[in-house]
Amino acid sequence: DTAVSQTPKYLVTQMGNDKSIKCEQNLGHDTMYWYKQDSKKFLKIMFSYNNKELIINETVPNRFSPKSPDKAHLNLHINSLELGDSAVYFCASSPRGGDNQPQHFGDGTRLSIL
């Protein structure tokens, strides 16, 4: 009964490769997010989708492209991976409603670039 699930949990790859991370939520939430957590645990929003529509797009290199085929899925594709992309990427979701609704997080995808 996993609520927000991400795959893969670990991703080790070479610089220059293209990779995707998948995220699915079974909570019936309308809004999904991608966050990046760096080695110092600092968390920063990257993207947010509401019902498949992009609503937040922070200053992120255009090598990162989110795709939401339906409101239960938000995938993250990364082109031409660089060393600085090494981090933990978290997917999250939240229900419709005001800002008092908490976000539910997946367990993260640990991306390591060699």
Partner 1 sequence: GNSVTQMEGPVTLSEEAFLTINCTYTATGYPSLFWYVQYPGEGLQLLLKATKADDKGSNKGFEATYRKETTSFHLEKGSVQVSDSAVYFCALNSARQLTFGSGTQLTVLP
Residue numbers at the binding site for partner 1 (CB under 8 A) = 4, 31, 33, 40-45, 48, 50, 55-56, 90, 92, 94, 98-108
CB of 47 to partner 1, least distance (A): 11
Smallest gap, in angstroms, from Cβ of residue 12 to partner 1? 16
CA distance 22 to 90: 10
Question: What minimum distance in Å lies between the beta carbon of 93 and partner 1?
Answer: 11
Q: Are strands 109-113 and 10-13 parallel, antiparallel or unpaired?
A: parallel
Q: Which of 47, 2, 27, 5 is nearest to 95 (CA)?
A: 27
